[in-house]
């Protein structure tokens, strides 16, 4: 699966990119109809500690899934978003299997 990662207004290092790619690639074990994904990384310049935002968009054969999460680190936000996407993908696969 092709994963496109865009860091907005900063440079994401290779370690972070690899971490995100591995997490998103695991979603294909739940639904093999996933075609590609886009990831947007943003840092909000606010005084709050939770200022890292990750938005993940997954394109599948008949549908697309989007989840946005904010956390203290990009890794934590990625974990939260991937877990939510995993539930969405499983629910979609179950619905299509029932019909």
Domain boundaries, the chain: 2-98
What CATH class has 2-98? alpha beta
Would you place residue 88 in the very low, low, confident or very high pLDDT band (cuts 50, 70, 90)?
A: very high
For the segment 33-68, what is each residue's pLDDT rounded down to a tens digit?
899 999 999 998 877 788 999 999 999 988 999 999
pTM (whole model) above 0.85: yes
Residue 78 has pLDDT above 80, yes or no: yes
**CA proximity to 98, closest of 29, 90, 78, 87:** 90
Backbone CA torsion sign across 8, 14, 17, 19: negative
Tell me how many helices (H) and strands (E) the chain has: 2, 4
């Amino acid at each position: 699966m092709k994963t496109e990662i865009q860091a907005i207004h900063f440079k994401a290092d290779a370690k972070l990119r690899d971490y995100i790619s591995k997490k998103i690639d695991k979603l294909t074990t739940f639904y093999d109809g996933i075609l590609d994904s886009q990831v947007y990384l943003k840092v909000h310049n606010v005084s709050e500690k939770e200022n890292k935002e990750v938005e993940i968009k997954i394109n599948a054969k008949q549908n697309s899934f989007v989840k946005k999460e904010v956390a203290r680190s990009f890794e934590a936000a990625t974990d939260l978003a991937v877990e939510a996407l995993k539930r969405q993908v499983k629910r979609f696969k179950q619905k299509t299997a029932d019909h």
